[in-house]
């Protein structure tokens, strides 16, 4: 579908996305999603309003037009969470325009998004995480592939890495140091301590791997020597969780959630966990306090004699 966006607005959108990439360091997926959200918004305005607008008209837009756009998005099936993200993108674009043009965009920027209930992370139990790692290592018939899969899932759980971060490591990371420098979302760099068990798992994989793990090449390899496809780790966990009777939420990302939740349960500082996970906002990390409280109440209700 061709979007009905005026040339000046289209150029402004392109300039804003370039700004996000270059100056704000936004992740590529975020830039793509924001571009699609704002593009649909501009297309709606072009069709909704009879008078053509330049970029300054976007900053002076009344909230009635914004509400009409949100109503259309909901009508086409957009969920509250996705609409909230789209509104955030529109506000970011509008604020950038207002700053560039020296205009007042308070009406747009004060618009409220839909309320939605934040989904809580679904971590594995400590026993479940250990069983998952053990079971993943028992699935492949080839010893080096089994060692590879164990090394990856151990990094996810032991260091709280995203799957993309673990698979983004190169041969230069071997042998693993006591502290890893990880480039996370948006190019943000963080330092992550590496447990001895994770260093040992990667060392065992490296010793068995039939490929030269050169500094500039991927550390984790597929069967033919190319970069390991994350789908293979997800598939191994799918098989393992079915064998263990774990829920469908036992995914690679759930191991990262488990890392954070178990640290918090052991008395970890929330700010420190935020740094280890690479969250830009503490509010994202605070979701784990709700998880911890929910687990505590579950144990309480099962154990209390009057429950």
74, 185, 190, 295: which is the annotated catalytic residue? Answer: 185
Would you say 213 and 203 are in contact if contact means Cβ atoms under 8 Å apart? no
Catalytic residue check, 162: yes
Would you say 225 and 253 are in contact if contact means Cβ atoms under 8 Å apart? no
- In the chain, count H helices and then E strands: 15, 2
Catalytic residue check, 288: yes
d(CA 185, CA 284): 14
Catalytic residue check, 256: yes
91, 148, 256, 262: which is the annotated catalytic residue? Answer: 256
Would you say 295 and 126 are in contact if contact means Cβ atoms under 8 Å apart? no
Helix, strand or coil, per DSSP, at residue 261: helix
Question: If we measure between CA atoms, which residue out of 134, 253, 257 comes closest to residue 197?
Answer: 134
Beta-bridge partners for 191: 181
Catalytic residue check, 279: yes
85, 122, 253, 295: which is the annotated catalytic residue? Answer: 253
**Which run of H or of E encompasses 255?**
helix 252-265
162, 199, 204, 221: which is the annotated catalytic residue? Answer: 162
DSSP strands (E only) in the chain: 179-183, 189-193
d(CA 52, CA 6): 8
Cα 298 from chain centroid (whole Å): 27
d(CA 118, CA 248): 19
Catalytically annotated residues = 162, 185, 253, 256, 279, 288
């Amino acid at each position: 579908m061709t979007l009905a966006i005026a040339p000046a607005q289209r150029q402004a959108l392109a300039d804003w996305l370039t700004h996000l990439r270059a100056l704000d360091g936004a992740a590529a997926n975020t830039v793509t999603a924001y571009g699609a959200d704002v593009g649909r918004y501009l297309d709606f305005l072009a069709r909704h309003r009879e008078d053509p607008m330049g970029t300054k008209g976007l900053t002076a837009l009344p909230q009635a037009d914004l509400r009409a756009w949100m109503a259309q998005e909901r009508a086409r099936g957009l969920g509250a969470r996705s609409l909230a993200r789209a509104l955030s993108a529109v506000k970011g674009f509008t604020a950038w325009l207002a700053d560039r043009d020296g205009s007042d965009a308070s009406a747009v920027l004060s618009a409220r998004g839909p309320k939605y209930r934040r989904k809580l992370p679904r971590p594995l139990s400590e026993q479940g995480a250990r069983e998952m790692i053990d079971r993943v290592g028992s699935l492949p018939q080839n010893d080096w592939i089994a060692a590879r899969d164990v090394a990856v899932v151990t990094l996810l759980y032991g260091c709280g890495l995203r799957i993309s971060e673990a698979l983004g490591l190169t041969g230069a990371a071997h042998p693993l140091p006591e502290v890893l420098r990880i480039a996370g979302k948006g190019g943000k760099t963080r330092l992550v301590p590496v447990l001895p068990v994770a260093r040992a798992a990667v060392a065992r994989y490296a010793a068995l791997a039939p490929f030269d793990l050169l500094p500039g090449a991927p550390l984790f390899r597929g069967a033919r020597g190319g970069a390991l496809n994350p789908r293979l780790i997800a598939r191994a966990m799918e098989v393992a969780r079915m064998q263990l009777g774990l829920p469908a939420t036992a995914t690679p990302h759930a191991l990262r959630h488990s890392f954070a939740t178990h640290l918090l349960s052991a008395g970890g500082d929330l700010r420190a966990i935020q740094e280890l996970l690479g969250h830009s906002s503490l509010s994202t990390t605070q979701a784990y306090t709700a998880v911890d409280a929910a687990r505590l109440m579950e144990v309480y209700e099962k154990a209390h004699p009057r429950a």
